[in-house]
Amino acid sequence: MATTTLPDPERLAACAREIADAGRDLGARGWTPATSSNFSLRYDDTHAAVTVSGRDKGRLSVDDIMLVDFAGNAVGTSARPSAETLLHVQMYRRDASIGAVLHTHSHNQTVASRLYAPAGLIRFSGLELQKAITGYTTHDSELDLPVFPNTQDMPELVDQVDAWLDAGKPLHGYLIDGHGIYTWGRTMAEARRHLEAFEFLLAVELDLRRLRA
């Protein structure tokens, strides 16, 4: 499926720099503890650039980014992609407008995922920052972030996301129980804005629970 000339070294390096910049910033916020988390950028219609498994996501270099096809197979390298690569390529396959996918593992994401797993989702409403999610133009709206059960079986996780999307429900990100968040955007900038917005919304929601207890 992959041609022998893939990847173009300069293009992959450009992807790597953009991913490493994001990683440095997100790592500095403490959202990528203990080599967790992974990031990707769309490379073309059938490939994505993703982080190599097990690297410190706050200190990524060009060698820490590799090419995969949309089945999750390494292309032009013997490196092993991040374990959750299938969840990245799923989004690129299903939505041609998606250009970047981010998975992080912050304190608030993990705590919220544990608390809201029984309900299956967190519903945000009345918060101005909902407008940071593309398509939302007012705080007077409802924004749902589903929480899927965790499993070490990636195809099972892929199926859960497919089922949500196949039901026609809007999806801008999701939590995995005990694990972290996935979110995305047309560009890395938009994906980062969405991630920053979800983190903020989760922190507010959790703190209101503490204060209203």
HSE toward the beta carbon, residue 105, CA cutoff 13 A: 15
Closer CB to its own copies, 54 or 170, in the complex: 54
**Any binding-site annotation on 103?**
yes
Closer CB to its own copies, 12 or 197, in the complex: 197
Closer CB to its own copies, 48 or 195, in the complex: 195
Shortest distance (Å) from residue 198 CB to its own copies: 9
Shortest distance (Å) from residue 128 CB to its own copies: 4
Shortest distance (Å) from residue 166 CB to its own copies: 26
For residue 203, the surrounding DSSP H or E stretch is: helix 188-212
Shortest distance (Å) from residue 196 CB to its own copies: 4
Closer CB to its own copies, 1 or 189, in the complex: 189
CA distance 57 to 27: 6
Closer CB to its own copies, 164 or 200, in the complex: 200
**Any binding-site annotation on 179?**
no
Q: What are phi and psi of 53, to 5 degrees?
A: -60, 140
Binding site for its own copies (CB under 8 A): 33-36, 105, 107, 110-111, 114-115, 126-129, 132, 137-140, 150, 152, 176-180, 193, 196-197, 199-200, 203-204, 206-213
Q: Could you tell me the maximum CA-CA distance found in the chain, to the nearest angstrom?
A: 60
Query: Which residues are known binding-site members for Zn(2+)?
Result: 103, 105
Query: Which residues are known binding-site members?
Result: 103, 105
